[in-house]
Amino acid sequence: MDKLIPAFIELNIEVQNKFQLISSLVDKFDQKGILSEKKEYLDAVLERENLLSTYCGYNVAIPHAVSKSVKNSAFGFCRTKPMEWDKNDEHVQFILILAIPDSSNSNESKHIDMMSQIASLALEEEIRKIWKSAKSKDVITKTFN
């Protein structure tokens, strides 16, 4: 799994809805040069989200997209007050966004591998407790690296 860097971590972000939250996280990728076309990647994430919710239980959502506008794979972490993700879902508090470049067939396996590793972490109650109580980005980073 790629390393999570502090620049891609948001603790206690305040947004009105998941679309603002996703847009804020995409901005971070764009500011750090991960994206060649911010709008294209944002549209891909939102299209994927509209296709099927990325809520995966345990107050965790994993919005993601494989896109030609992604120069280097990356992932980000966000903790927010519990918020509605979709009408049929429980509330989400932890959001992990993935950016995977669409440049070869090998990225499909990278995409699945990243999702699997992150989902495995999210299943661990102790990890979620750390995510919930962490006061610094370094504490969050250590749970992934």
6-52 residue pLDDT tens: 889 999 898 999 999 999 999 999 999 999 999 999 999 999 999 98
Residues 6+ apart with CB under 8 A from 73: 2, 98, 99, 100, 101, 107, 110, 114
Q: How far is CA 35 from CA 17, 41, 88, in A?
A: 23, 7, 32
pTM of the model: 0.90
59-100 residue pLDDT tens: 999 999 989 999 988 989 999 999 999 877 679 999 999 998
Q: Quick count: other Cβ atoms within 10 Å of Cβ 82?
A: 11
Domains of the chain: 6-144 (3.40.930.10)
Q: How many helices (H) and strands (E) does the chain have?
A: 5, 6
